[in-house]
A and B are shown apart, each in its own frame.
Chain A
Amino acid sequence: MSDNLVEVRDLSFAYADRLVLQGVNLAARRGQVVAIMGNSGCGKTTLMRLIGGQLKPTQGQVRVDGESVGELKLRDLYRLRRRMGMLFQFGALFTDMTVYENVAFQLREHTDLPEEMVRDLVLMKLNAVGLRGAQDLMPAELSGGMARRVALARAIALDPMLIMYDEPFAGLDPISLGITGDLIRRLTDTLGLTSLVVTHDVQESLKIVDYVYFISEGVVVAQGTPKEIRASDLSYVHQFVHGEEDGPVPFHYPAPAYAEELGLRHA
């Protein structure tokens, strides 16, 4: 058994003819929280979908627990996914079910546990995210942050070996931010899982993660432990960690010259 639960080798991926990832290499050790950072639109969600097997690599390989995700047959892929949890960027709760039923969903689909057992497990998972009291609410009655915590409870319902979080910190107030960060760390340690966190919240994630990868323009441009990252003098990392506007990451999407577009200068 390899030390790495997730291994990504020379991974390239293109939507139609738009190359998003071009030769990404990264690995997540068992029991660690690994962050993947990068500016908006650099392909983080795409990378998660590749690891979850929802997209197939154009080139390269993704291995999860020793299995090459892109080459699995559907049945084997589903078997592997039962041991993965994914937290979607906006929760993706089932809107026609209560919070309780959402968390119970996988237990009902994949196990034949008696109702009392399902109930105990659901309440345990909801308690872990601090929302036992919200079990009877519908998803529409939750705030964005609460919805994401319910989604987290749903993702850990079957005690997966790997959880992928897509932007768990986006749009949270500073208190929820800290709580969510602690939660990710605590769940990883107590349940013995491995976590992959996609985020652009540098400060919050540096507090809780074991290892960080920076992705830019489809490749990993920097990596290291939080300590190494904070000390890094790579300009890209520096810009990201300190939130500077100017640097190698442009704020603007490529565009014709501003003045020209406004018609101030005639061609």
Chain B
Amino acid sequence: MLDGIAAILRRMGARTINSIWRLGLATRFFFLTLMYSGPSFRRFHLVIKEIFSSGVLSLVIILVSGLFVGMVLGLQGYETLQTYGAEESLGVLVSLSLVRELGPVVAALLFASRAGSAITAEIGLMKATEQISALEMMAVDPIARVVAPRFWGAVISMPLLAALFSAMGIFGGYLVGVVLIGVDEGAFWSQMQAAVDFQEDILNGVIKSVVFGGVVTVIALYEGYDAPPTAEGVSRATTRTVVTSSLAVLAWDFVLTSFMFRGV
């Protein structure tokens, strides 16, 4: 009995220590990535290639999801606003929820499962097939050549994807609200224009999505780089990337929001 409890405690302790270790190692990995970022900017075509493979290839899923989220917002928002006779504020509701929250957060979650998992799997496989070792033996630093360009590629594409997500969402809200239900078009757009503040809303949304892009990619890169070089190791790392980075996005969203919208 006592032995059983001790064993459970010991396992929990070991897990906690292990998590803290990994957090520390991932942080160190992040700083290494920043330190070795020079070549990414001197040879920007490396970053452009990554913007293509993580950003452009995520476009379809981002655009389609954005459209649907916006359409749902239009429906739900209309339902609620109508009770107060405020259906003309539908544009405000849709745009603010998208720009401030849903755009950055949902786009980052989609990005984590579409691009993050791909990054982990790719790096894990590169390690398993000794490509990372080969880079080292060719006197090419893998952090500088493989990791840093992917990091910057994601940090650059994330805000763009979030913006496209929001734009598609607003279009979706417009489709449902104005075209389908018949909210006044002039009021929809003009109220939106008046209510959305550049700094307070747009800029904060951009800051969020930059941070989310960084968080998701660091986790994805670290998991791939740290994966045991086996099929099983890579597949587990991929799963962990999606789970950990989704949770991290939500947690960071809370932290950032509480700083940004304190006065609101």
Q: Which residues of A contact B (CB under 8 A)?
A: 49, 52, 54, 78-79, 81-82, 84-86, 88-90, 92-95, 105-106, 109-110
- Number of chain B interface residues as a range: 10 to 19
- CB pair B137 A84 closer than 8 Å: yes
Closest CB in chain B relative to A15 CB, distance in Å: 14
Q: Is the CB of A88 within 8 A of B139?
A: no
Q: Using Cβ atoms and an 8 Å threshold, which residues of chain A touch B139?
A: 78-79, 81-82, 109-110
Contacts of A85 in B (CB 8 A): 137
Q: What chain B residues lie within 8 Å of A82 (beta carbons)?
A: 138-139
Q: A92 near B140 (CB under 8 angstroms)?
A: no
Whether B131 lies near A92 (C-beta < 8 A) is yes
When chains A and B are docked, how far (Å) is the Cα of A115 from the Cα of B140?
Answer: 20
- Report Cα–Cα, A90/B128, bound state, in Å: 11
The CA of A85 and the CA of B137, in the complex, are separated in Å by 7
Give me 16 A-to-B residue pairs in the complex whose CB atoms sit less than 8 angstroms apart, sorted by A's number: A78-B139, A81-B138, A81-B139, A86-B137, A90-B129, A92-B130, A92-B131, A92-B134, A93-B131, A94-B134, A95-B131, A106-B138, A106-B140, A109-B145, A110-B139, A110-B140
Spell out B's residues near A (CB within 8 Å). Answer: 125-126, 129-131, 133-134, 136-141, 145
Give the chain A neighbours of B130 by CB distance below 8 A: 88-90, 92
Query: Which of B126, B134, B140 touches A109 (beta carbons < 8 Å)?
Result: B140
Residue picked from B134, B136, B145, most chain A C-beta under 10 Å? B134
CB closest chain-A residue, reference B49: A96
Neighbouring B residues of A93 by C-beta, 8 Å? 131
- Give the docked Cα–Cα distance between A109 and B130 (Å): 19
Q: Are B134 and A88 in contact (CB under 8 A)?
A: yes
Q: Which of chain A's residues have a CB closer than 8 A to the CB of B141?
A: 78
Known contacts A92-B129, A95-B131; A109/B138 CB under 8 A: yes
Q: Report the bound CA distance from A85 to B139 in whole Å.
A: 10
A-B contact count (CB 8 A): 46
Taking CB atoms, residues of chain B closer than 8 Å to A110 are: 139-140
> In the assembled complex, which residues on chain A have CB atoms less than 8 Å from the CB atom of B137?
52, 54, 81, 84-86
Which residues of A lie under 8 Å from residue B129 when comparing CB positions? 90, 92, 95
Given contacts A78-B141, A109-B145, 9 further A-B contacts (CB under 8 A): A54-B136, A78-B139, A82-B138, A85-B137, A92-B129, A92-B130, A92-B131, A105-B138, A109-B138
In the bound complex, residues from chain A placing their C-beta under 8 Å from that of B145 are: 109
Contact across chains for A88 and B138 when beta carbons are under 8 A apart: no
Least CB distance from B164 to A in Å reads 26
* Neighbouring A residues of B136 by C-beta, 8 Å: 54, 81
A88–B145 Cα distance when bound, in Å, is 20
**Chain B residue at minimum C-beta to C-beta distance from A158:** B138
Chain B residues whose C-beta falls within 8 Å of the C-beta of A90 in the assembled complex: 129-130
Most buried by A among B136, B138, B140: B138
Instruction: Give CA–CA (A84, B138) in the complex, Å.
Output: 8
Q: Which residue of A lies closest to B132 (CB)?
A: A92
Specify which of A49, A52, A81, A92 lies most central, judged by the most chain B CB atoms within 10 Å of its CB.
Answer: A92
CA distance A84 to B139 in the complex (A): 9
Considering the chains assembled together, what is the distance between the CA atoms of A3 and B126 in angstroms?
A: 37
CA A81 – CA B137 in complex, angstroms? 6
CB distance from B225 to the nearest CB of A (A): 15
Q: Nearest Cβ distance between residue B231 and chain A, in whole angstroms?
A: 15
In the bound complex, how far is the Cα of B143 from the Cα of A78, in angstroms? 14
CA distance A105 to B137 in the complex (A): 13
* A94 surroundings in chain B (CB, below 8 A): 131, 134
A84 to B141, CA, bound (A): 15
A194 to B18 alpha-carbon distance, docked (Å) = 45
Residues of A within 8 A of B134 (CB): 86, 88, 92, 94
- The CA of A106 and the CA of B136, in the complex, are separated in Å by 11
List residues of chain B with CB within 8 A of the CB of A86.
134, 137
Residue of B nearest to A164 (CB): B137
Cα distance A142–B137 in the bound complex, in angstroms: 22
A126–B33 CA distance with the chains assembled, in angstroms: 34
- Determine which residue in B126, B129, B137, B145 has the highest number of CB atoms from chain A within 10 A of its CB, and name it: B137
A106-B134 Cα distance, complex, nearest whole Å = 11
State A120–B120 Cα separation when bound (angstroms). Answer: 36
9 closest A-B pairs by CB: A92-B130, A92-B134, A81-B139, A78-B139, A86-B137, A82-B139, A88-B130, A109-B140, A106-B138
